[in-house]
Structure 1
Amino acid sequence: MTVPWGRVPGVSASHSAEMTWPEELGRPRAGFLVILLSFSFPENIQSVELSVQPDFVKEGTERLTLQYSMLRGVVEKQMWFLNGGEIKPSSRYSVEQRSLVILSPNRSDTGRYAVLLTNPFSSGTAHVNVTVLYGPDEPVLEARPAQPFYVPGDSLSLFCQAEGFPQPTAEWAFGGQTLSDSRKGVLNRTNVQTSQGGVYTCTVFNEQTTERRQKSMILNVYEKPAGNPMCSVRSANVNADLQYHCRWSGGTPQAQLSFPALSDTSSGAGNFSLTVTASDYFNGKTVTCVAVHPVEENKCNVTASGPVEFLPAVRTTVDSEGKIVVAIHCVSEASPKAVVSWSKGSEAVASGTTYQIGSDTAQLKIRDYNVSYFLLQNYTCTCRNPLGSQRREIQLGGPSISDSSLFPNQDGTIITLTWEVPPTSVVTGFDIQMKGPELLSENRNGSQTRGTSNTYRTIQQKPGSARSADIFALNPSLTYRFRVIPKARMTEGEPSEVHRIGPGEGLSGPAIAGIAAGIPCSLLFLLLLGGIIYLCVYCNKNKSRQTRYPVSRAVEKAITTQSDTAPHNLLTGGLKSQPDYNRFQQTPSERSVALPTFVAPPPVRVATTV
């Protein structure tokens, strides 16, 4: 028998309680109250499992759902955990009936998820590992060793890495072609060349997410231009401006060129020009071109200058038609190169049949058969560039020789004649003439023959450009005379001076040797002669100092009286005068030495002729 008991303290109102008396016990006895309570409790939680939808979660999908299931039980409370940390409901995490919903899952949602289910009498737990697939991220590219540029011959490696799960694969491409020699994102380059410089692209791919990404980098392989930069200056705008030019072509990349002294802002690559107005400021001024290349910096200099004074050069030839061709060259040192203009008298000269001006304007050619056409003609050449001008007048003259010389060899068997021609002389050739014995020659039998001539004869002919001639087979014991005749076709000019060679000219070798040996002998003879003369003079002086004897005062008086009159010629003729005895009649105080003993002189016989 079941009797409703009503509410039982301590029992939840949601549960029902009934009072039950077992019928097999019969009716209850009096005095006893037996109360049997029978309660209905929640079921225990058993066999909890978690599942994930979808099976493969990719970063960026709309939602990820984790749902639990269990064999039996009543859940009063559910709690969700990620890697041990409780998940609180938020804008991304939502706890729904039997599930956890993650909106826009990302890589940070990867981990171990768990759910805890509880009721007042039991609990259940389940967990599952969730992996969110992602990537690849933007690749990171790197060159090692890291340098701003490389030069031919260097070695390096290119690295490509990108985050992702699973790990994405990487491959390199260059010039539109995939490079198969890259491994795991590493591309090695040895002995790199300029042709291998450029854009390298790395592509990363995730097979699970089917996503791919690309990124490129520039590999700089630089090579400096060959040689050194070249500077020049040219005329521009009809000799009104100066154009400075700098060139350093080639290389990778091209060098940047500039003229800092002319402009702070203008520059160019490989080939650069800058035009300025010509003025005296630039005359003689050195301007520098600065060439900047990543591998090397270099420079070159150029100096502009006006034309300087110059001397025209005249050259004469004969063309195939037999015409005399006179070429006049006017070249003045100048930078930029001077342009030459020509005039005859007061009229400008233009190219035609008679006159031809060279392509560089520095040469004027005049053609005619008759040499007299060229004589006494005044031509003027003017050299001009933006910094000034110079002019010279040329008056052409007939064939002539300004100077000549003769040089024999040591044996006297060979001579060399040299000569000079006035700068404006018209000469087409030279005749070398000789007067004297014929040159030694070999006849067919091998014997030498010799002839002689008292007139000049031509032995050689030289072109107008020649300035020397060699003459062989001379006999050193004979005398020869040579001269040079200038010619303008058939017209002869004044001959050069005559040069002689042979014994008749100058002193012979033995004579020169005798003179050379006689000079010191003559000097020695003069020294000996001088010594002899000196000895003679010295001896005569000693003889004149003989001993004189004293005389009486009467005799002294007589001699003194006679000294005022002229001596008799007969007494003095061929005889020596008597010694002066008076000087011995001095007082002892007047004598420096004792008087000698007087000895009477022998008698002298004097003859008088009437």
Structure 2
Amino acid sequence: MTLLGEFAKLFAVFLAIFSFSFQGASCQLVVTPADPSLVNALAGSNVTLAVSFSGADDPTVTWLMGDLPVVTWIIATGLPPDIPENRRKVLNIEKNGSLTFVNVTLEYTSNYTIELTKSGLGKSRTTFTLEVFERIQNVILSAQPDVAIEGAERFTLQYSMLQGVVQQQMWFFNDIEIKSNSRYTVEERSLVILGPNRLDSGSYTVLLTNPFSSVTTRINVTVLYGPEKPVLEALPAQPFYLSGDTLNVSCRAEGVPLPTAKWLFGTQIPDQFKGVLNLTNVQSNQAGNYTCTLVNEQTKEELQRSIILKVYERPSGIPMCSVQAVNNVSLQYSCMWSGGTPKAVLSFPTLSDTSSRVENFSLIFNASDNLNGKNVACMADHPVEQNQCSITANNPMMFRPTVRTKVSSDGKIVVTIECVSKASPEAVVSWSQGNETSPAGTTYQISINATQLQIRDYNVSNFIFQNYTCTCSNPLGSQRRAVQLQGPSISDFSLFRNHNGTIITLTWEVPPTSVVTGFDIQLKGPDLPDKHRNSTQNRGSANTFHTIHQEPGSIRSVDFFLDPSLTYRFRVIPKALMTEGEPSEVQRTGPGEGLSGPAIAGIAAGIPCSLLFLVLLGCAIYFCFYWKKNKRRQTRYPVSRAVEKAITTHKEVTPHNLLTGGLKSPPDYNKLNLNPSERSMALPTFVPPAPVRVATTV
């Protein structure tokens, strides 16, 4: 028995004693529960509704099941209790009036009331509630209908079980308890989802409990929906595609189960992989409307959506701008960008903001100063790209005529005068000679584009000092230049040496209008070495210039090998065939001049004498230094031990063989360590003079 039951019994005894203490004097009949009035029992078990009473020894006891009496008995008598036949196996009454249930079954769940009566003492009663339970087993959750579809009116989950009595049921969605509200209704043995949607997909749990068991059962619910609004996407994502591109077009939508896609382009396109349309090397004829149909195979719902693919072809090349002269009065601006799908739209916004045309466009305007030097842009608009080109109309610019000279195969001098002025539109060139509007005769020829005037003659004197005028013009203006040819001449002459003076470079220039067909390079001085620089043939000085080399009229420099110890003089003679021009200035290279022959010979003879004098002076200085050094040395002779001890400051010096004339030094008797009797002669008794150094000059 539980602690709560023990407490209830003690409380009942306390009430009985309390009632007897205060009411015993009046002998009132009292009955109270000895256990809690709510009793839970497991089916098949024994359970007692315990009571205690006071105020009489043998009251009459009556137990009512609801309003129906099931047991009647007078306490403390030998008479058996009055129990219906069909309940005698279950119901027993105890001596104190308590009611016991043996192998209680579910049908005995009810309210029970005990009444005690005694003649003269009145009636006393108390009530019990008995709930009989079975253990809950084999709970199964099911759905009605079998499939939950988004937008349906309701979807119901209900449970069934093999046996058991449910005292309480609790429903959970993804482990969160569900309470009855506008979306959910908890009914007996079921949960109703009102207007299910995709958010209701998840795990549902029911918890069934009674005092003797608890069972949890789960079910997963998937709410079917879709297809949603289809999403069509072309990858790579571009507003249009070029011929030859490769792209994928996908069609997808949310839905459960995942919708399947079918493609239509005129007719159905078979065998597409998961709604992806692969287009390889796409062409312009594949542009158009593609329709995708998405189907939910379970709900049979379907949706359609279309996508438009644009396939363009870029125009070839780049836009080309030009400006042309019309009757040398007007300017025609043109722009062209051909090909492509669609055609490019061309316009000149700076000239007109209203006119445009595809592929090829032109505008004509009268030439005016405001158009001179104005940059005019042509805008080319195409879906593939926006491009542009520009053109600027300019009057002819200032120019310098160029003069070139050569010798023809028939031996004539050919002089070409070219006049080219930068202009847009291209300038028209016209020529005049003196007062004549155009040079006449077979001597003069004008090129096809009129930019060159060619003069052909054997003698240069026939056309030099003549005035030739060229005029360059277009609708925006003109420029005129006069050219006067002159005979062969040199405008500049220079000489450059390399670092050791063995190679020189001669450079020269001629005036721009000079007629020159060749150059004579002349030398004054000794002959030049050959190309291997082995030797010169003549080291004497030539007093006149003579030609050593010739160059054609197109050459402006030449290199020579020379002896850097000799003096050379160079000049250049310009020629027009047999006609020679004035020589250039003279350029000199080599040692300077001004000394006579005997002076040069004296200088040449003085150089070796000076060198010999310097050598002798050096030797004298050396021997003086050497003599002073040897003078400090002294020759060592044998001395007595007493003298040897006295002379302690002299340092032993061995004279050099050169200083002794190759003679051996006298023996050092002090080093022999001999006794006086062993010596061949007596030791000197005097101190020798200081040693004298002898030097031998070699």
Q: What is the TM-score when the length of structure 2 is the normalising length?
A: 0.44
Q: What is the TM-score when the length of structure 1 is the normalising length?
A: 0.50
